[in-house]
Amino acid sequence: MATSANSVESRDLAYFLHSFSFLPSLAEDGPLVLERGEGIHVYDNHGRKYIEGISGLWNTVVGFSEARLVTAATEQMKKLPSYHTFFGRAAGPAIDLAERLIQLAPPPMARAYFTNSGSEANETAIKMLWMINRATGRPQKRKIISRRLAYHGSTVATASLNGKDYIHAFGLPLPEVRYAECPHHWRYAEADESEAAFASRLAANLEALIEDEGPETIAAFIAEPVMGAGGVILPPASYFEKIQAVLRRHDIRLIADEVVCGLGRTGRMWGSETYGIEPDIITTSKCMTAGYFPMGAVLISDRIDRALAQACRQYDEFPHGFTTAGHPVGCAVALETLSLITEGGLFDNLVAVSPHFLARLGAFAEHPLVGEARGVGLIGAFEIVADKDTKVPFAAEHLVTEGLCRRALRHGLILRPIGEAVIFAPPYIITEAQIDDMFDRVEQVMSEVAHEVAAEGMGPAQVDARAAATV
């Protein structure tokens, strides 16, 4: 990377620490510094224009220039720029937002609790259940079952729920965490095993895990409707129906992590509605403010609400909170975002363009480097493989998906690699013409990558790809 010593890129490399970034390539290629946005596009500090193919980080669903959100924030700043939710206090917008979220949520959600992020929302859900179980004489009922390849956050507890190898860098997981299998049918099903049969096997294995651990020690099972940072992994047919039957038999609560899926992404208002999930707790964040303000929420069922209220009697309070959670400016932005989604045409547009998005995405299943193309609503991915028949990926040292996404930048397109998957989650405002523009660029990138793979003789991984699911 050739830049002047005092360029913004050089100062970034000197002073700024990036999250979840591949540091060797960052040092070589330099950071991407953004200066402004307009619609589905962002512009870097050199004036180059990019399609934002993953809505920032799944969240900027209204695009990057929505004046109504700027106005909502500005007007609230003038009126009451800051407050908290401790000691029975709340700003008016927080109450309005709680009511609106419960109106939008699938029943039986009864109350909303605000946080600053999805990580904090998931952490809060866990603490609520731990507090309830301790208050009801079940202090040993603490274990949380997550899944291989899951992602639920970056706090100590929620990072423990991430079914990924990197958590070992922090000495995680916590001792309360267990992992069920990843529900990726294409990758982990046995030969000729149908989706329904695969789901039955995973449910049976979950039940065996619960019985081995002791159901009296397990507080909850947490799951995204679609595993976002796991690689956009869709659940197989009947999966959640069978999983929920197991949880009900053993009195285990279900937390639906809707941080990525919630508020429209899957083509229904909630991923829980898309896949027939009946959660005890819903967590959400990203789309709630479209990324214009940091915010998250925990929605609790009437059953959890009553149990938590009873548990709080021992302490005269709910001893948990965040200084800026329920921030009046964030709540005002969230209310306007929900209005744009539900009444301003954003969700209607998503539903209208989704079939075209999925058709263009699905066409990549025929590409020689793609093992599977998958998606629902306005979220999808395709899986890069070295061999379509065996599903074996390229050897890790080739960095094929990382290189593919770097190459996409040269074509004015921002994508995200997750393992062997390339992720798509554009803003809800995207048009069919813009979808075509995005995937036309992907076709060109894939053609270049295929040529590079052939020219350099890149080889497959030497291990069975199924091993990638281990933690």
Per-residue pLDDT tens for 197-250?
Answer: 999 999 999 999 999 999 999 999 999 999 999 999 999 999 999 999 999 999
Instruction: Compute the Cα dihedral for 303, 304, 309, 310 and give only its sign.
Output: positive
Q: Is the pLDDT score of 470 beyond 50?
A: no
pLDDT score of 464: 46
Distance CA 26, CA 29 (A): 5
What is the average pLDDT score of the chain? 95
Distance CA 367, CA 250 (A): 45
Coil, strand or helix at 439: helix
pLDDT score of 456: 85
Q: What is the pLDDT of residues 88-132, one digit of tens each?
A: 999 999 999 999 999 999 989 999 999 999 999 999 999 999 999
Q: Whose CA is closest to 377, among 232, 279, 245?
A: 232
pLDDT score of 134: 97
Q: Is the pLDDT score of 1 beyond 70?
A: no
User: In the structure, what pLDDT confidence band is assigned to residue 3 with cuts at 50, 70 and 90?
Assistant: low
Q: List where CATH 3.40.640.10 sits in the chain.
A: 69-342
Q: What is the pLDDT of residues 266-283, one digit of tens each?
A: 999 999 999 999 999 999
Buried-state track 75-105, b at ≥16 Cβ within 10 A, e below 16: ebeeeeeebbbeeeebbebbeebbebbeebb
Listing DSSP states for 183-248 in one string gives: --HHHHPPTT--HHHHHHHHHHHHHHHHHHH-GGGEEEEEE-SSBTTTTSBPPPTTHHHHHHHHHH
pLDDT score of 461: 78
pLDDT score of 469: 40
Torsion of CA 411, 414, 420, 424, to 10 degrees: -120
Residues, the chain: 471
Please give the structure tokens belonging to residue 83: 């407050």
Token pair 């919630």 is found at 262
Q: What is the pLDDT of residues 296-342, one digit of tens each?
A: 999 999 999 999 999 999 999 999 999 999 999 999 999 999 999 99
pLDDT score of 466: 40
Distance CA 201, CA 207 (A): 10
Token pair 């004046």 is found at 67
pLDDT score of 293: 98
Please give the structure tokens belonging to residue 198: 């695969």
Q: Is the pLDDT score of 465 beyond 70?
A: no
User: In the structure, what pLDDT confidence band is assigned to residue 460 with cuts at 50, 70 and 90?
Assistant: confident
Q: List where CATH 3.90.1150.10 sits in the chain.
A: 32-65+345-454
Homologous superfamily of domain range 32-65+345-454 = Aspartate Aminotransferase, domain 1 (3.90.1150.10)
pTM of the model: 0.96
Distance CA 329, CA 72 (A): 8
Domain 69-342 fold is Aspartate Aminotransferase; domain 2 (3.40.640)
